[in-house]
Chains A and B, each alone.
Chain A
Amino acid sequence: MNPWLKFVSKRLAGLVVVFFAASFLVFSLLYLAPGSPISFLLGNRSGTPEQIAAIRAQYHLDDPFLTRYAAWLGGILHGDLGQSIVYRQDVAALIGARIPTTAALVGYASVIILIVGVAIGLLAALRPGWVDATLRGGMTVALSTPPFVVGVLLILVFALSLGWFPVFGAGRGFADTVWHLTLPALALAGGGAAFLGRITRAATRGELARDHVETARARGLGESRVITRHVVRNALIPVVTVAGLTVASLVAGAVVVESVFAVDGLGSLLVRAILQRDFVVVQALVLLLVVTFIVINTIVDVIYLLVDPRIKA
C-alpha cells in the first residue's frame, strides 16, 4: 500500500478511537454529576409529580445509562446535539452561532503567534548579546503571565486609560471584528508567541552550530543565504510541530480569554453552561473542543511528515 495512504488511514483510525473514548468519558463523567436539571427547570416552584414525570420523559432522564449514551452519540453523528435546558434551544444552533467568533479569535491569535514567535526567536538566535538577552527576558515574562492577566492589563491600559480599543464584545463585519478582537487575540497569543520564540531560538542556535553550516560557508555561499537556506530551513522542523501544538492549545485558552473580554463565543458559552448546570451544552462543547484539539494535532503530524524528508511515512 502507498505509505502515505497507510499513514493517513492509521491516523484516522486512531482519531476515531480517541473520539469514542473521549465521548464516553465526557458523557459518563457528566452523567455522574449530582443535582438534576429538574430543579433548575422548575425554578423555586416545587412541581407536581406529573410535571416532574413529564420533564423526565421529555429529556429521557429515566432511560438506562447506555441507552442514553447511544442515543446521545447517535444524535451527534446526525448533527443533533440535543436541547439546551436553559436556553430551550437546539444545542447545535447555540454552538453554530458562536463558532465564527471563536474561530476568528483563535485564527487571529494563531497568526500573531506564528509571525511574532518565529520573528523574535530568529532575532534572538542571530543577534547574540543585548538583543538576545532583552528578548529572552521578555519571553520569560510573557510566558509567565497567564492570558487572563494579560487580558486584564490590556483592558486597563489600552481600553480604559488610552481608549484605543473597545473593552468588550466581538464586533460586526470584518474591520470591526478585527478591531474588537485585537486585545483578546493579543492576550491569547502572548504566552504561545513567547513559547514558540524560545523553541525557534533554541532550534536556530542548535542548527547554527551544525557541521553542514560550515560546509555551506566553505563553498562561498553568502551569509544571508546560509541563514535562510540552511539554518532557518532546518530549524523550522521542530518549530512547525511546536507551532501546531501551541495553536491546538489555543482552543482551550479561548475559554478563559473570551470570558475576560465578554466575547460571546464557545468559551463563554461553556463557562455559563457550567455555572447553570446545563449539561447537554457542556457535553457537546467539551466534545467539540476535544475533537478540534485532536484534529489539529493530527494535522500537525502530517505537516511534520511533509517538512522533514528524513521521516518515512
Chain B
Amino acid sequence: MSVISPPTGRLEAGPATRRRTPVLAVAARTGRRLGASGTVAAALLAVLVLVAAFAPVIAPFDPTAPDLANALTGPGATHWLGTDALGRDTLSRLIVGSRITLVGPILVIAVSTAAGTALALLAAYAGGRVDMVVSRVLDVLFAVPGIVFALVTVAIAGPGLPGVVIGLSIAYTPYVARVVRSAALRERALPYIDAAWVTGRSGLSICLRHLLPNLAPMIMAQAVSALGLAVVDIAAISFLGLGVQPPATDWGLMVKSGIDTALRGYPTEALAAAVLIAAFVAAITVVSDRLTEQAGELR
C-alpha cells in the first residue's frame, strides 16, 4: 500500500556557498541589502572617501600654486578640467576640496547624533520632569531653521568652517533627539525592558545594553539621511563666502568662484563642482533610503 511520502528534508546549504572569503561575503550581503541602485551609490561614496583620503597623492598639480601664464584655460591635455583665474588646476582643487566637503558634514553628524541620542535616551528613560524640560528646549531650537542657526554662529565666530560646524551641530541635534526619543519610548514600552529592570539592571546599563543596540539601525539610517542635509548646508554656506575661507577650498566655494570664471566663458569649474555636489548628495540619499527601508523592516 503506497502512502504519499512526507516532504523530503530541506535542501541544505552546500559547503561551496560558505567558502567565500569573509570580505567578499560581507560585500555580497551588503549588496543584497542595498539593491542595485544602492550598491552603485555606496560604491560612489567609497570612491569619494578614497579620493579624499589620498587627495595629495592623486592631485596632479599643487591646488594652491598660481600659474598666471596658464590662467583661465578650458579643458585640455595638461589641465583636464582647465584652470581658474589664477591659473590653478581645477581638477586638483576639486580633489583636494573633497576633503573639507567630506569632513565638515561628518563632524556635524557625529556631534549632533551623539548629543541628540544622549538627550533622547535621557529624556525617554528618565521621563517626567526631565523629559519635559528637554522637550521644551528642543522645541525652542526647532523654531530656528538649521541654516539660520549656522549663520548666527558664523556671525559670532566669524566666517570659517568652525563656526559653521558648531552651528549646524547644535541645529541638527533636536531633529535627531526627537526621532530617537519617540523610538526609544516605543522600545521602552516593550516587555523585555521591564524584564531587564526586574533582574536588577541599572538604568544606564539598560540604556546602553538594550535600548541603544536595538535603536542602532534606526539611528544609523537617520544619521545617513541627515548627512545629505549637512553636505547641502555646509556647501551653501561656503558658497555664500561664510564657510571655508581661501586659499583652502571645498566644492561649495568652487561653485562660487566658478561663477566668475563662467561669466568669462569658462563654465567647467562651476559645472564640475555643482555636478559633484549633486552626485554626492544623491548617493547619500539613495543609501539612506535603503537603510531606512531596512530599519523599518527590522521593527
Interface residues of A (CB under 8 A from B): 18, 21-22, 25-26, 29-30, 32-35, 140-141, 143-149, 152-153, 155-156, 160, 248-249, 251-253, 255-256, 259-260, 270-271, 273-275, 277, 279, 282, 286, 289-290, 293-294
Q: Given A29-B156, A146-B277, A282-B155, verify A290-B270 contact (CB < 8 Å).
A: no
Separation of A255 and B237 alpha carbons in the complex (Å): 10
Contact of A32 among B154, B156, B232 (CB under 8 A): B156
Q: Given A145-B278, A146-B281, A274-B154, verify A290-B236 contact (CB < 8 Å).
A: no
Q: Given A32-B156, A152-B274, verify A147-B282 contact (CB < 8 Å).
A: no
In the complex, identify which listed stretch (B64-72, B90-98, B196-204, B256-264) lies at the interface while the others stay far away. Answer: B256-264
In the complex, identify which listed stretch (B55-63, B105-113, B114-122, B239-247) lies at the interface while the others stay far away. Answer: B239-247
In contact, A256 and B155 (Cβ under 8 angstroms): no
- Best-surrounded residue of B235, B255, B284 (most CB of chain A within 10 A): B255
In contact, A144 and B146 (Cβ under 8 angstroms): no
**Does B285 have its Cβ within 8 Å of any Cβ on chain A?**
yes
Residue of A with least CB distance to B235: A146
In the complex, identify which listed stretch (B4-12, B80-88, B137-145) lies at the interface while the others stay far away. Answer: B137-145
Residue of A with least CB distance to B147: A252
Separation of A37 and B284 alpha carbons in the complex (Å): 42
Known: A141-B278, A146-B277, A274-B154. 12 other contacts (CB 8 A): A26-B152, A29-B153, A30-B155, A146-B278, A148-B236, A149-B277, A149-B278, A152-B259, A255-B148, A259-B239, A279-B155, A290-B143
In contact, B270 and A152 (Cβ under 8 angstroms): yes
Q: Given A144-B281, A156-B262, verify A149-B274 contact (CB < 8 Å).
A: yes
Interface positions of B from 260 to 299, Cβ below 8 Å from A? 262-263, 267, 270-271, 274, 277-279, 281-282, 284-286
Interface size range on B against A: 35 or more
In contact, A286 and B151 (Cβ under 8 angstroms): yes
Write out the residue numbers on chain A whose beta carbons fall within 8 Å of the beta carbon of B279.
144
Residue of B with least CB distance to A250: B145
In contact, B278 and A256 (Cβ under 8 angstroms): no
Contact of A156 among B152, B154, B271 (CB under 8 A): B271
Write out the residue numbers on chain B whose beta carbons fall within 8 Å of the beta carbon of A251.
145
Write out the residue numbers on chain B whose beta carbons fall within 8 Å of the beta carbon of A249.
145
**Does B104 have its Cβ within 8 Å of any Cβ on chain A?**
no
Separation of A275 and B145 alpha carbons in the complex (Å): 20
14 contacts between A and B (CB under 8 A): A22-B140, A26-B152, A33-B156, A144-B278, A145-B278, A149-B274, A152-B258, A160-B262, A260-B239, A271-B241, A275-B242, A290-B145, A290-B148, A294-B143
In contact, A256 and B236 (Cβ under 8 angstroms): yes
Separation of A187 and B278 alpha carbons in the complex (Å): 13
Separation of A33 and B153 alpha carbons in the complex (Å): 9
Q: Given A18-B143, A141-B278, A156-B262, verify A286-B242 contact (CB < 8 Å).
A: no
Write out the residue numbers on chain A whose beta carbons fall within 8 Å of the beta carbon of B240.
255-256, 259, 271
Separation of A253 and B237 alpha carbons in the complex (Å): 11
Residue of B with least CB distance to A282: B155
Separation of A59 and B274 alpha carbons in the complex (Å): 43
Separation of A252 and B147 alpha carbons in the complex (Å): 7
